[in-house]
Structure 1
Amino acid sequence: MDKKPCIESLVVKNSHVLPTDTNNHGTLFGGQLMAYIDDVAAIAATRHARCNVVTASTDSVDFLYPVNAGDAICLEAFVTWTKNTSMEVFVKAVKEELLSGERKVCATSFLTMVAVDENNNPSKVPPVYPETEQEKWLHDGAADRATQRKARRSVSKEFANKFGTDFPWIRK
Structure 2
Amino acid sequence: MSCFFPRSGRPAYKVDKRLTAAIRSQRGRGDASSQQDSKYELSRIMRPDDANIVGNVHGGTILKMIEEAGCIVGTRHCNTQDGDRCMAALVRVEKTEFLYPVFIGEVAHVTAEITYTSKHSLEVQVQVMSENILTGVKKLANKAALWYVPCSLKNVDKIMDVPPIKYASAEQEELGRKRYGAQKMERQETKARIEDVVPPPPNPGQHTVGFSQSSLIHLVGPSDCTIHNYVHGGVTMKLMDEVAGIVAARHCSTNIVTASVDAINFHRKIIKGCVVTVTGRLTFTSNKSMEIEVFVDASSLMEAGKEKYRAVSAFFTYISLDKANKALPVPPLKIDGEEEKRRFEEGNARYLQSKAKRLAEKERQE
TM-score range, shorter chain: 0.7 to 0.9
* Distance in 2 between residues matched to 1:97 and 1:78, nearest whole Å: 24
Q: Deviations over 1:124-149 (max 9, x none)?
A: 11100232544332112111111232
Residue 257 of structure 2 is matched in structure 1 by: 54
Distance 1:109 1:85 in 2: 20
Letter of the structure 1 residue corresponding to residue 307 of structure 2: E
Q: Distance in 2 between matches of 1:26 and 1:65?
A: 14
In the TM superposition, residue 157 of structure 1 has moved relative to its aligned partner by: 6.7
CA positional deviation for 1:150: 2.5
Q: CA offsets, 1:3-53, max 9 Å, x none?
A: 721111111100000011001111110011111111100110000011011
Give the Cα separation in 1 of the matches to 2:237 and 2:245: 12
Please show how residues 1-172 of structure 1 align to structure 2 within 5 Å: 4-98=207-301, 99-100=303-304, 101-153=306-358
Q: 1:152 to 1:106 in 2, by over 3 A?
A: farther
Size of the aligned set, in residue pairs, is 159
CA–CA separation in structure 2 for the residues paired with 1:104 and 1:154: 38
Decide whether the 8 Å contact of 1:81 with 1:129 is kept in 2: no
Q: Which amino acid aligns with 2:329?
A: K
**How many angstroms apart in 1 are the aligned matches of 2:297 and 2:289?**
26
The amino acid that maps onto 1:60 is: A
Q: Secondary structure at the match of 1:67?
A: coil
Q: Partner amino acid for 1:23?
A: T
**Is the CA contact 1:3–1:128 (under 8 Å) kept in the aligned structure 2?**
no
Secondary structure of residue in 1 paired with 2:325: coil
Q: Report how far residue 78 of structure 1 moved.
A: 1.6
Deviates more, 1:61-70 or 1:125-134: 125-134
3-state SS of paired residue (2:265): coil
Query: What percentage of aligned pairs have identical amino acids?
Result: 31
Local SS of the residue matching 2:270: coil
SS at match of 1:128: coil
Q: Which has the higher contact order (CA 8 A, sep 6+)?
A: 1
Letter of the 2:211 counterpart: E
- TM-score of the pair, normalised by structure 2: 0.41
Q: Distance in 2 between matches of 1:143 and 1:95?
A: 29
For 1:88 and 1:124, how far apart are their aligned partners in 2?
Answer: 14
1:63, distance to aligned residue in structure 2 (A)? 0.4
**Secondary structure at 2:264 match in 1:** coil
Distance 2:332 2:274 in 1: 37
RMSD over aligned CA atoms reads 2.2
Any unmatched runs of 5+ in structure 2? 1-204
Measured in 2, the distance between the counterparts of 1:123 and 1:59 equals: 22
C-alpha distance in 2 between matches for 1:29 and 1:151:
33
Question: 1:34 corresponds to which letter in structure 2?
Answer: M
After superposition, what is the alpha-carbon deviation per residue over 1:95-114, rounded to whole angstroms, capped at 9, x for unaligned? 11122341111111111100
- Decide whether aligned partners of structure 1 residues 153 and 95 sit closer, same or farther in structure 2, where only a CA change above 3 A counts: farther
Structure 2 distance, partners of 1:41, 1:156, is 27
Kept in 2: contact 1:21–1:32 (CA 8 A): yes
